[in-house]
Amino acid sequence: MVILMTERRSGFTLIELLIVISIIAVLTGMLLAVIGPIKRSVEKGKTAAILADIRLALNTVAVEGNQVSPVEHPLAGSAVPRAAFIRSVAPIGSAVDIGTEALVATDETSVISPSERSRMILPSDIFVGGGSPASCGLPLLYGMRRDHIGVLGAVDDTITTYRRLPAVNTSYDASPGVLMTNSGVYDATVYPDDKFLFKPRIKPPETLESQSTKIIDYILTIHRSGLLQKGAIFTTGADGVKIMNNRVWQPQPPTGTVTLSPGVAASDYQTSPKWLPGTVYDTITAPANCWKYYRLRGTGLYDAWRREIICSIGANGAIRLESAGYDGVFRWHPGADGIYQTGPLDTIQQGDDRNGSLDNVTAATRD
């Protein structure tokens, strides 16, 4: 009798290997599907803790009898050239002038002639950011009211310049240097720039960077160390350039003896042909016409996603703090194509756009 012996093989057959690979792929997908929401939940909780610490710091300053006021967001400031806004009041949907000195008055209909009203900057103006919704260069703020767009920091003359006109039915008498009754409307000879132009100046050797650091340190007091541990404070360093007419800072790859700023990631150096959360479309600084990650100049306050926290003052005098959340926008998200179909005054999203306010994180110094 002949017995045939077959050699035993160890390991997997090709079919078995493919089955194992598919199982691993399925399990990996399931794991990633779980990890994503968990990570976002952790970041949201961390952001809520950051806002709570800032709120406590602001309350501490208030108890000491001092006041803190938000300043203009550098990419939505009143100085020329300004980002595009539109009116949310009559004439609804009209464009706000972005090329001439802005005007601020207590009553636009009584003080400003109709031909000049497009120069008014009103709290209810809505941020568009570009000539049309599709050309918005800063989705972070798209669709937001002007009076909701502020940051904690220093006032800078590159973002804040306007004429603050006197109360209704008054004009300037140049001879005695006093205000007098006048029934006329706005006129450059009646309200001269040298008397009514608001253009802040930072005295040398101070810079915007050093001044903003002093202000943030003053506001945060004993809460500063806790916010540092949470990664909520970022100070721009030498490894970067000023972009967007010197209004914000973009990190650059370190060269030579220049060191990397703490909190800067390698991805922050990259540019993109398409909008990503945390970027602005830069048409000015080389390389131009692309999306760039940016930070506020000097010291700023940021959420867990490393995006600036905005603040505003409510009708009751409370300071409201807000993070844009995971999606990186406060009002409308431009969708997968990165282009808005939703108008800034719309109340419901259009096309593939989404409501970006649903994941915002907020806090206020009082109810």
pTM of the model: 0.86
Instruction: Provide the domain limits for residue 64.
Output: 43-88+124-161+199-364
Split into its structural domains, the chain has a count of 1
Kindly state whether residue 305 falls inside one of the protein's structural domains: yes
In this structure, is residue 108 part of a structural domain? Answer: no
Answer whether residue 10 is part of any domain.
Answer: no
User: Would residue 296 count as lying in a domain?
Assistant: yes
- Establish if 36 belongs to a structural domain: no
From first to last of its 367 residues, the chain has per-residue pLDDT tens of: 555 555 555 556 777 777 777 778 777 766 666 566 788 889 999 999 999 999 999 999 988 878 888 999 999 999 999 999 999 998 999 999 999 999 998 777 777 888 888 999 999 999 999 988 999 999 999 999 999 999 999 999 899 999 988 877 777 777 766 777 666 677 777 788 888 888 888 888 899 999 999 999 999 989 999 999 999 999 998 788 999 999 999 998 877 666 667 788 888 888 999 999 999 999 999 999 999 999 999 999 999 999 999 999 988 889 999 999 999 999 999 999 999 999 999 999 999 999 999 999 999 998 6
Domain annotation covers residue 24: no
Kindly state whether residue 3 falls inside one of the protein's structural domains.
no
Residue 132 falls within a domain, yes or no? yes
Q: What is the 3-state secondary structure (H, E, C) of the chain?
A: CCCCCCCCCCCCCHHHHHHHHHHHHHHHHHHHHHHHHHHHHHHHHHHHHHHHHHHHHHHHHHHCCCCCCCEECCCCCCCCCCCCEECCCCCCCCECCCCCCEEECCCHHHHCCHHHHHHECCCCCEECCCCCHHHCCCHHHCCCEHHHCEECCCCCCCCCCEEECCCCCEEEECCCCEEEECCCCCCCCCCCHHHHEECCCCCCCCCHHHHHHHHHHHHHHHHHHHHHHCCCEEECCCCEEEECCCCEEEECCCCCCCCCCCCCCHHHHCEECCCCCCEEEECCCCCCCEEEECEECCEEEECCCCCECEEEECCCCCEEEEECCCCCCCCEECCCCCCCCCCCCCCCCCCCCEEHHHHCEEEECCC
